[in-house]
């Protein structure tokens, strides 16, 4: 017909995307394979340092351990509670979000391996390819370690998937651990001992993970029957390679960007009032800096900046935050910061540095975290010093009788005649760690509110390796070895009390981890990998609210397989974990 | 003068002759010729061959027989022609002129054809030769009651008169070749050729949607009586329906067409959703295809000025929609725009002004209730959560009603002017309109300017060309109030600072923004959003001269849309949280510190599309046989280009004085591009055949290709077949008095749907800066961008195919007073494309996938009755009813659990044998009371939380206790409209109802049960909830401390009845109107969404919005307007 005669219909109908790539045409250089590895770094960062409190609260609950013995929620955040087992079930979004996040990471790692195998990619060197492949395999193994600790045996997906499957089967928890162990061991030599590029993986990262994996394997072998001892020995030897390898050592002297400074706050609720005569020092409450405080000052986290206990860090950057967005900040003041302006507002208010910036208190430390682990002989500890765990708050409301003076905690807690604090006050107001709330915010000059910090964040710091070694030694029965490992940390922290072999047990390990690694470790992994009823017992014992004590009437040492995963994997019935 | 009687009153010529005036039929024929040029009617008299055998019959009987067997109508003067003369006739396949020559061989009777009308006259009639004369007569309605006030005008002149109280008229100086136009509100206008008559009595007919109208179908038109499918038509020109304040062409259809669901409009310039006969596609668009003046419309429906629409035909079943193959499974909406009418040019003005208010505004808690709710919900023993400024207002007893503060009386002004006319060879329609709408929410503004010009002309007897061009400018610019902020904020918030200026954070350090912040304040926020649309349609119609009835039509429709949108946030938009009386928060220094946060972006979108149709049509009558053949080759293409330019951080620049136009001074500048193209190609053929006005058959076939599908799935074949039987035309059906007409119809067809957007079959990748994945190694201050696969492709995705049966009838009863149409349909859709939740181990949580088979079945009925009709009063009632049932038949065809039944897909909430809109979950069984100790113990819950039904009886609520709780589908829809006319007043009332019941039409409404809403914000306001307490236990509302659990849905029925439209108009028919040269002058007042009865709480049941979700409101409108034409 007219105007159409001879037209090429097939050519007319062909889809030819002009402005985006597809998986089939994106890869042509080794640089692009490395960009998939960059995606893996970003995904790990998102899991452990979520940047957005509104869309990622589910991950927040996982990452630092909301609902464990160390964190609970304040009155105003009931709806985020993660220890009320009348509402926690396999349909809870925290489980699905966490489970998914690790499989998204696995998929990116598998995609990198697929791309690295493509024939059209030219490599600058074999070494370049080996490092890229090693990073990809590390991230995959890392995801399986976490999945194994949290969910037990999970389906092992080792290739990029192009067509969906509905017949995944669960491996055993042992197979999951073993896969991670085999992969990590296979790539050890392809990871460099050190790197010039801060944030990149080094060999000690895999060694640290192997140490933890062998402990996990040993704990499992103990319950299932097997040679747990050689597993623990492997754990110790991997830890030894890091602790005694000469590359890493605990920082014992002041160092870094602020090594000649002390922390300083203004008791002032507005910028205008932040004048020299409103400093804590001038009011007679000077704070002395120390090496532990240095560890958490901006610019001091990377091994490349002479921090010898930094093994692996999540990188933050304010310039990149301004140019590209939130994914490179730490929202710690916002999520973990107290809210003085609510319950304390008669005496102390505002959103400036002295109250922890613009805290929203999504998650609150339990009594265990803030007080119990520092009671009596445990009190004398650099990690409990005013610089590190800020407990002295000066009134900044002019009409307050405490203006410029320390407000007693029973006033802040609004304690009644029987000595019991008000729930709202107790859960919204608490001592403030320098890990989540600094005395200086880089973005303040740009008028931004003080709810983010732009500091690199530790994924692995040497003390955690030391605590893993202590744990492995304890499990081997070497309590004195464990005690001396723990005392490495306590000595560095100039603690008044050093532990003895007889102090060593699981609780001590967990207490010391809380003292050293609060706001750093992923407490859910720690508790669940301990096996037995450790997690359940401690949750019931230390939670602020009574929910778990009233509602946790089953026992579990694994999270449930998310109901959505069971429902969608329609061809094979994935068995639910015990207790759910 | 000899009194003459005309035969019109008995002019039963075809089966429809009784229902409409003879001349009306003529007019329709003319319309056909003039509008559509597809019917080669002039050739009918040359081509039609008749077979007649009668013995000893009168001439009248012969004429009557010819009329019965053909489309011919005879017009003659009874007194002049000897009708009683007996003749014997015996013709076989003889042409009409041969028969007539023979019949009147030895008489003085001559004949001439006007289309299919045969005018008989005698040479003895002297009046025939006169230049002008006087005509008089009486006008009555079909019950015989005289009609006063009917206008009788010599067509094309101003010579006219109004009938008197007895329905009589006398008109002088009527030329012999004149046509008289009889018109009356609510009645069908009739045009009568004067010829040799001096007395013309007219029976005016209801202007109903009678069965003899022309309907627009794919690539052509047909008479409704010949139509085998299911279609509804809405005439908007001169209808009370068109008077209502509808900003959008679609809104006018709402409730007027059974089976068509038109959604709501809740923003200024918003576009409602539309859906025909239930949901066919899960993930794809369910929008029907829109066709304007015969060509697929690829633009924005908002670009069509509702006032330019003459009529809308909605094609619902498979045969009617089959012409559009791959895109017609959702039905087709055919819009016909106005055009000129023969006669003197008409100038038309339409002016409307409307006021709007928030319909069903939620009632949020007052201060006291809010204090109690927040304290109880969050475990506060006192009101210590109040910020200092809230405390001030609390003490002073000052409350702010935020929803009142953000809303206003909305205003619409609508002006339209149109000029139209037509001559013998040319037809034109020019229109321009301006609409300005200030929505109910402050800052929600819209205006539209549109210009339309249409012209068509006959170049030669065989060539007609036409051109339409339209330009529309839409302006959505402006920042609107933040509804969510208004629902969250405390009633004790501080609106203003001590200096009277707006406070940025009314609740102080809690930090929720003022919902009015930045509205109409370009120093804080700039927002622009303009769209310019230019479209042009051209056609050429060639009546191929060598084959009568054969025509070729070429259509080209081009559409160019340009949108520019931009948003800029100045540094002064940012204010630190703090006390309302702390002026330093607003100081220049503080503001300048926010320069690094200042940012803006500009979006440029260009959409270019074209449609090309080549249509070959052959239409011919052979005696009682009528054949219509159509062949089409068509292509269309839509190309979209998107550019987004953004800039942020103006600290280095120092100010943002240039705002949106200074993006290039930003420290960080980004570009993002997105282009896509959609193409379709189709080949279509259709054959229609009818015999003797009794039997109708249509069959069509289309082969269609679309770019959106996987490489091997691009082409699809579609077809349809339909049949109808006009049973009342059968001789065995001796027409009973009560039944005037009955047509039965049956159709089957297979249509497609493009359930995908472009490039959905591909595995897309996110990368580079615009991909949003970045990591910063080495504190370099520069991001490294990552690559990530963002979707998992599926190259097997093809057409969604819908096969549908439709059967029904159209009928007219009780002396043309009762009209009943009903349809039943059954459709099944295969290979539905949907976003399937997949095992996340794949690395993706969902992908586009196709699944088994979904069936829809439904029933639609339209009933219209004329209740009262007399000299002064007329009252008619219309009822539309429709229901649709949806059922999933097959999914993946697997039975893995081996129970002999196909497996459900619980993960996607899809269950075999149930609606795809099923709600699956835990059935709530009231609230846990303190006495439910066993339940509390086994489930670890406390009293005051929702209680769930223990289906399994195990005592513990777990995944096995889930069941299907209902469906989000409505049960049925019922609309009732009444039109009452009294003299020159006309009142139209439409009540629309969507009904639930039996689990239908439910939706989760947690905010209606949970104190302070979903608790995503501390101290949020919300609906007042009489929450459970130990002393005052409720079995409906949980305790205030309950924040939801993963089981709780708070299902509520969305069923409602709404007084949707009221229109009252008055037409001035006084002599002074005519004397001032005004053709028509009408004043009207209309109301929209005046009242709603529903159990849905906190929002609007139609939109399903809840109190805290920030949905823009549906509006109540009252309008005042006037139509005037010269």
Q: What pLDDT, in 10s, does the model give residues B1076-1110?
A: 888 888 899 999 999 999 999 988 998 888 888 88
Higher pLDDT, B256 or B62: B62
Of residues B707, B788, B839, nearest to A568 (C-beta): B839
Mean pLDDT of B827-849: 87
Tokens 């107001």: give the residue: A429
Q: Measured at the alpha carbon of residue B1012, what is the angle toward residues B1007 and B1015, in degrees to the nearest 5? A: 85
Contact predicate A149/A216, CB 8 Å? yes
3-state secondary structure of B1002: strand
Q: What pLDDT, in 10s, does the model give residues B1032-1064?
A: 999 999 999 888 888 899 999 999 999 988 999
What per-residue confidence (pLDDT) applies to B279?
Answer: 65
**Which residues of chain A have a CB within 8 Å of the CB of B941?**
86, 551
Average pLDDT across chain B, whole number: 84
Mean pLDDT of B436-447: 92
The whole-angstrom separation of Cα B466 and Cα B427 is 9
DSSP assignment of A179-236: HHHHHHHHHGGGS-SS-SSTTS--HHHHHHHHHHHHHHHHHHHHHH-S-HHHHHHHHH
Answer whether residue B449 shows pLDDT above 80: yes
* CB atoms near residue B213 (< 10 Å): 19
**Which residues of chain A have a CB within 8 Å of the CB of B778?**
196-199, 304, 315
Q: Which residues contact B879 (CB under 8 A, 6 or more apart)?
A: B861, B862, B863, B864, B974, B975, B976, B977
Nearest to residue A71, comparing CAs of A451, A367, A337?
A367
Tokens 């706001």: give the residue: A519
Inter-chain touch A20–B764, beta carbons under 8 Å: yes
Mean pLDDT of B763-769: 89
Radius of gyration (Cα) for chain A, nearest Å? 25
Higher pLDDT, B66 or B925: B925
What per-residue confidence (pLDDT) applies to A429?
Answer: 95
Answer whether residue B1 shows pLDDT above 70: no
Contact predicate A101/A59, CB 8 Å? yes
Nearest to residue A443, comparing CAs of A263, A319, A315?
A319
Q: Is any Cβ of chain A less than 8 angstroms from the Cβ of B706?
A: yes
State pTM to two decimals. 0.79
Q: What percent of chain B has pLDDT over 90?
A: 39
Inter-chain touch B837–A299, beta carbons under 8 Å: no
Q: Which two tokens stand for residue B686?
A: 């259709």
Mean pLDDT of B599-626: 92
The whole-angstrom separation of Cα A509 and Cα B98 is 115
What per-residue confidence (pLDDT) applies to B31?
Answer: 38
Q: Is any Cβ of chain B less than 8 angstroms from the Cβ of A442?
A: no
Residue B1012, sorted as left (phi over 0), alpha (psi -120 to 50) or beta, turns out to be left
Q: What pLDDT, in 10s, does the model give residues B128-140?
A: 334 567 888 888 8
In a mutational test of the A interface, the residue from B326, B789, B847, B895 whose CB has the highest number of chain A CBs within 10 Å is B789
Contact predicate B125/B77, CB 8 Å? yes
Higher pLDDT, B869 or A12: A12
Taking 70 as the pLDDT cut, the residues of chain A under it are 1-7, 52-57
Answer whether residue B714 shows pLDDT above 90: no
Mean pLDDT of B157-171: 78
Q: Which two tokens stand for residue B487?
A: 């629902």
Inter-chain touch B612–A4, beta carbons under 8 Å: yes
Mean pLDDT of B737-743: 83
Q: Is any Cβ of chain A less than 8 angstroms from the Cβ of B635?
A: yes
Determine how β-strand B332-337 pairs with β-strand B309-315: antiparallel
Inter-chain touch B387–A341, beta carbons under 8 Å: yes
The whole-angstrom separation of Cα B389 and Cα B394 is 9
Answer whether residue B8 shows pLDDT above 60: no
Q: Is any Cβ of chain B less than 8 angstroms from the Cβ of A358?
A: yes
The whole-angstrom separation of Cα B94 and Cα B105 is 16
Inter-chain touch B584–A271, beta carbons under 8 Å: yes
Nearest to residue A450, comparing CAs of B962, B593, B989?
B593
DSSP state of B934: H
What per-residue confidence (pLDDT) applies to A55?
Answer: 55
Radius of gyration (Cα) for chain B, nearest Å? 34
Question: Please, how many CA atoms are within 13 Å of residue A496, restricted to the half-sphere of its CB?
Answer: 10
Inter-chain touch A1–B594, beta carbons under 8 Å: no
What per-residue confidence (pLDDT) applies to B4?
Answer: 35
**Which residues of chain B have a CB within 8 Å of the CB of A449?**
511, 576-577
Q: What pLDDT, in 10s, does the model give residues B538-548?
A: 999 998 878 88
Q: What pLDDT, in 10s, does the model give residues B327-385?
A: 777 888 888 888 888 777 889 899 999 999 999 999 999 999 999 999 998 888 889 88
Gap from A302 CA to chain B (nearest CA, Å)? 9
DSSP state of B356: E
Q: What pLDDT, in 10s, does the model give residues B508-548?
A: 878 889 999 989 888 999 999 999 999 999 999 998 878 88
Nearest to residue B927, comparing CAs of B918, B919, B936?
B936
The whole-angstrom separation of Cα A219 and Cα A232 is 9
Contact predicate A390/A432, CB 8 Å? yes
Please, which residues 4-63 of chain A have a Cβ atom closer than 8 Å to chain B?
4, 7, 9-10, 12-24, 26, 32, 35-42, 45, 54
Q: What pLDDT, in 10s, does the model give residues B82-101?
A: 778 888 888 888 888 888 88
Q: Is any Cβ of chain A less than 8 angstroms from the Cβ of B909?
A: no
Inter-chain touch A315–B778, beta carbons under 8 Å: yes
Gap from B912 CA to chain A (nearest CA, Å)? 14
**Comparing A438-442, B233-237, B655-659, which segment has the lowest mean pLDDT?**
B233-237
**Which residues of chain B have a CB within 8 Å of the CB of A348?**
none
Residue of A nearest to B578 (CA): A350
> How big is the A-B interface in CB pairs under 8 Å?
340
Query: What is Dmax (Cα atoms) for chain B?
Result: 113
Higher pLDDT, B1018 or B13: B1018
């Amino acid at each position: 017909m007219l105007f159409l005669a001879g037209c090429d219909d097939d050519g007319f109908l062909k889809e030819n995307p002009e402005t985006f790539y597809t998986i089939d045409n994106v890869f042509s250089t080794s640089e692009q394979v490395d960009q998939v590895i960059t995606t893996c770094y970003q995904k790990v960062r998102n899991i452990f340092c979520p940047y957005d409190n509104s869309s990622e609260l589910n991950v927040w609950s996982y990452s630092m351990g909301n609902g464990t013995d160390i964190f609970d929620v304040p009155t105003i955040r009931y709806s985020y509670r993660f220890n009320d087992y009348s509402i926690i079930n396999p349909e809870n979004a925290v489980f699905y979000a966490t489970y998914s996040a690790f499989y998204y990471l696995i998929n990116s790692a598998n995609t990198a391996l697929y791309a690295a195998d493509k024939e059209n990619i030219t490599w600058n060197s074999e070494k370049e390819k080996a490092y890229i492949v090693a990073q990809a395999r590390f991230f995959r193994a890392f995801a399986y370690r976490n999945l194994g600790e949290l969910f037990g045996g999970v389906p092992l997906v080792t290739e990029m998937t192009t067509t969906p499957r509905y017949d995944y089967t669960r491996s055993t928890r042992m197979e999951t651990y073993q896969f991670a162990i085999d992969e990590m061991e296979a790539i050890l030599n392809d990871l460099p001992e050190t790197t010039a590029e801060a944030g990149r993986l080094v060999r000690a990262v895999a060694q640290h993970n192997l140490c933890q994996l062998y402990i996990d394997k040993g704990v499992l072998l103990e319950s299932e029957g097997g040679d747990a001892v050689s597993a623990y020995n492997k754990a110790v030897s991997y830890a030894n390679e890091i602790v005694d390898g000469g590359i890493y050592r605990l920082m014992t002297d002041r160092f870094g960007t602020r090594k000649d400074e002390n922390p300083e706050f203004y008791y002032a609720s507005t910028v205008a009032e932040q004048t020299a005569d409103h400093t804590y020092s001038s009011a007679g409450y000077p704070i002395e800096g120390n090496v532990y405080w240095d560890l958490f000052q901006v610019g001091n986290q990377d091994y490349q900046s002479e921090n010898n206990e930094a093994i692996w860090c999540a990188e933050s950057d304010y310039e990149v935050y301004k140019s590209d967005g939130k994914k490179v900040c730490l929202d710690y003041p916002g999520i973990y910061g107290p809210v003085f302006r609510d319950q304390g507002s008669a005496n102390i208010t505002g959103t400036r540095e002295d109250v922890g910036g613009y805290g929203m208190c999504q998650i609150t430390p339990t009594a265990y975290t803030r007080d119990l682990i520092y009671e009596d002989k445990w009190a004398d500890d650099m990690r409990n010093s005013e610089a590190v765990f800020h407990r002295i708050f000066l009134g900044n409301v002019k009409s307050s009788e405490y203006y410029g003076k320390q407000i007693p905690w029973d006033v802040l807690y609004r304690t009644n005649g029987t000595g019991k604090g008000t729930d709202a006050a107790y859960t919204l107001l608490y001592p403030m760690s320098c890990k989540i709330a600094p005395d200086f915010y880089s973005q303040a000059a740009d008028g931004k509110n003080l709810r983010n910090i732009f500091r690199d964040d530790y994924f692995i710091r040497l003390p955690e390796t030391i605590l893993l070694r202590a744990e492995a030694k304890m499990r081997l029965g070497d309590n004195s070895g464990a005690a001396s490992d723990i005392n490495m940390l306590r000595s560095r922290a100039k603690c008044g009390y050093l532990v003895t072999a007889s102090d060593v047990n699981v609780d001590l390990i967990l207490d010391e981890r809380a003292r050293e690694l609060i706001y750093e470790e992923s407490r859910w992994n720690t508790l669940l990998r301990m096996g037995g009823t450790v997690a359940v017992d401690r949750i019931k014992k230390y939670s602020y609210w009574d929910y778990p004590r009233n509602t946790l009437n089953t026992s579990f040492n694994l999270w449930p397989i998310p109901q959505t995963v069971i429902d969608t994997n329609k061809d094979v019935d994935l068995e639910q974990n015990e207790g759910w | 003068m000899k009194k003459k009687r005309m035969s019109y009153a008995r002019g039963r010529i075809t089966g429809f002759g009784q229902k409409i005036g003879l001349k009306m039929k003529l007019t329709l024929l003319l319309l056909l010729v003039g509008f559509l040029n597809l019917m080669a009617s002039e050739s009918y008299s040359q081509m039609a061959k008749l077979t007649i055998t009668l013995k000893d019959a009168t001439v009248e009987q012969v004429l009557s027989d010819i009329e019965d067997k053909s489309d011919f109508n005879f017009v003659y003067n009874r007194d002049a022609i000897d009708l009683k003369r007996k003749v014997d006739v015996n013709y076989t396949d003889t042409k009409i002129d041969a028969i007539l020559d023979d019949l009147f061989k030895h008489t003085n009777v001559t004949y001439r054809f006007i289309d299919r009308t045969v005018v008989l006259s005698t040479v003895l009639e002297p009046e025939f030769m006169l230049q002008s004369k006087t005509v008089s007569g009486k006008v009555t309605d079909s019950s015989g009651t005289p009609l006063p006030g009917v206008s009788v005008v010599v067509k094309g002149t101003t010579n006219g008169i109004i009938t008197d109280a007895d329905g009589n008229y006398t008109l002088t100086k009527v030329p012999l070749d004149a046509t008289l136009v009889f018109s009356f509100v609510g009645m069908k206008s009739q045009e009568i050729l004067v010829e040799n008559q001096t007395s013309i009595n007219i029976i005016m007919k209801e202007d109903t949607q009678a069965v003899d109208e022309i309907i627009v179908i794919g690539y052509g038109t047909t008479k409704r009586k010949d139509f085998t499918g299911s279609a509804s038509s809405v005439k908007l020109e001169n209808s009370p329906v068109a008077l209502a304040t509808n900003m959008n062409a679609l809104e006018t259809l709402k409730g007027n067409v059974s089976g068509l669901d038109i959604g709501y409009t809740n923003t200024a310039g918003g576009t409602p959703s539309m859906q025909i006969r239930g949901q066919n596609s899960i993930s794809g668009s369910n929008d029907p295809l829109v066709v304007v003046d015969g060509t697929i419309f690829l633009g924005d429906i908002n670009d069509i000025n509702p006032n330019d629409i003459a009529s809308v035909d909605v094609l619902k079943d498979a045969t009617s929609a089959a012409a559009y193959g791959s895109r017609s499974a959702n039905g087709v909406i055919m819009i016909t725009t106005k055009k000129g009418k023969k006669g003197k040019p008409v100038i038309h003005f339409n002016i409307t002004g409307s006021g709007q208010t928030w319909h069903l505004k939620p009632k949020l808690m007052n201060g006291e209730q809010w204090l109690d709710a927040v304290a109880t919900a969050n475990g506060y023993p006192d009101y210590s959560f109040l910020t200092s400024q809230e405390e001030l207002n609390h003490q002073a007893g000052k409350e702010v009603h935020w929803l009142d503060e953000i809303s206003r009386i909305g205003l619409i002004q609508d002006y339209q002017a149109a000029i139209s006319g037509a001559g013998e060879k040319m037809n034109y329609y020019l229109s321009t309109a301006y609409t300005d709408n200030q929505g109910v929410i402050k800052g929600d503004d819209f205006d539209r300017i549109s210009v339309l010009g249409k012209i068509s002309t006959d170049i030669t007897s065989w060539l007609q060309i036409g051109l339409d061009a339209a330009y529309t400018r839409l302006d959505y610019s402006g920042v609107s109030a933040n509804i969510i902020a208004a629902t969250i904020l405390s009633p004790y918030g501080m609106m203003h600072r001590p200096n009277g200026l707006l406070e940025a954070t009314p609740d102080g350090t809690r930090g929720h923004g003022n919902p009015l912040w930045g509205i109409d304040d370009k120093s804080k926020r700039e927002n622009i959003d303009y769209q310019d649309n230019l479209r042009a349609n051209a056609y050429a119609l060639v009546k191929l001269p060598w084959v009568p009835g054969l025509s070729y039509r070429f259509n080209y429709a081009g559409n160019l849309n340009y949108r520019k949108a931009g948003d800029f946030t100045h540094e002064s938009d940012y204010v630190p949280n703090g006390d309302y009386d702390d002026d330093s928060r607003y100081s220049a220094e503080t503001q300048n510190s926010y320069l690094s946060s200042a940012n803006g972006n500009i979006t440029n979108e260009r959409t270019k599309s074209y449609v090309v149709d080549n249509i070959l049509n052959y239409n011919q009558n052979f005696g009682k046989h009528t054949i219509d053949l159509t062949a089409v080759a068509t292509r269309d293409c839509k190309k979209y280009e998107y550019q987004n330019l953004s800039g942020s951080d103006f600290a280095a620049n120092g100010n943002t004085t240039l705002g949106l136009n200074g993006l290039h001074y930003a420290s960080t500048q980004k570009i993002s591009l997105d282009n896509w193209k959609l193409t379709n190609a189709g080949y279509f053929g259709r054959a229609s055949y009818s015999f003797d006005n009794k039997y109708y058959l249509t069959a069509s076939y289309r082969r269609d290709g679309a770019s959106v599908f996987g490489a091997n799935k691009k082409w699809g074949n579609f077809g349809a077949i339909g049949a109808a039987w006009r049973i009342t035309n059968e001789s065995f059906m001796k027409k009973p008095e009560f039944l005037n007409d009955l047509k039965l119809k049956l159709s089957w067809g297979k249509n497609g749907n493009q359930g995908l957007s472009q490039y959905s079959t591909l595995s897309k990748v996110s990368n580079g800066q615009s991909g949003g994945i970045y990591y910063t190694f080495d504190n370099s201050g520069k991001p490294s961008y990552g690559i990530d696969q963002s979707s998992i492709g599926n190259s097997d995705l093809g057409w969604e195919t819908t096969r549908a049966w439709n059967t029904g009838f159209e009928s007219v009863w009780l002396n043309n007073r009762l009209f009943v149409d009903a349809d039943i349909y059954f459709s099944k859709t295969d290979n539905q494309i949907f976003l399937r939740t997949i095992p996340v181990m794949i690395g993706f949580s969902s992908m586009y996938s196709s699944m088994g088979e979904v069936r829809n079945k439904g029933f639609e009925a339209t009933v219209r009755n004329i209740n009262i009709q007399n000299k002064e009063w007329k009252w008619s009632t219309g009822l539309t009813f429709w229901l649709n049932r949806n059922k999933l038949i097959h999914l993946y065809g697997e039975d893995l659990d081996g129970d002999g039944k196909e497996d459900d897909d619980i993960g996607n909430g899809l269950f075999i044998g149930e609606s795809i809109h099923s709600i699956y979950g835990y059935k709530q069984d009231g609230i846990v009371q303190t006495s439910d100790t066993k339940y509390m113990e086994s489930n670890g819950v406390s009293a005051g939380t929702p209680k769930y039904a223990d289906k399994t009886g195990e005592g513990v609520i777990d995944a096995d206790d889930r069941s299907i709780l209902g469906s989000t589908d409505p049960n049925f829809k019922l609309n009732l409209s009444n039109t009452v006319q009294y003299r020159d007043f006309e009142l139209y009332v439409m009540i629309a109802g969507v009904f639930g019941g039996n689990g239908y039409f439910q939706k989760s409404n947690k905010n209606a049960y949970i104190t302070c809403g979903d608790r995503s914000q501390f101290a949020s306001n919300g609906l007042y909830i009489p929450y459970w307490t130990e002393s005052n236990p409720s079995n409906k509302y949980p305790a205030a401390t309950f924040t939801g659990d993963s089981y709780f849905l708070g299902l509520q029925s969305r069923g409602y009845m709404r007084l949707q439209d009221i229109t009252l108009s008055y037409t001035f028919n006084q002599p002074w109107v005519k004397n001032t040269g005004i053709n028509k002058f009408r004043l009207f007042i209309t109301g929209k969404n005046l009242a709603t009865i529903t159990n849905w709480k906190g929002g609007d049941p139609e939109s399903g919005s809840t109190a805290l979700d920030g949905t823009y409101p549906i509006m109540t409108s009252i309008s005042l307007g006037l139509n005037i034409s010269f």
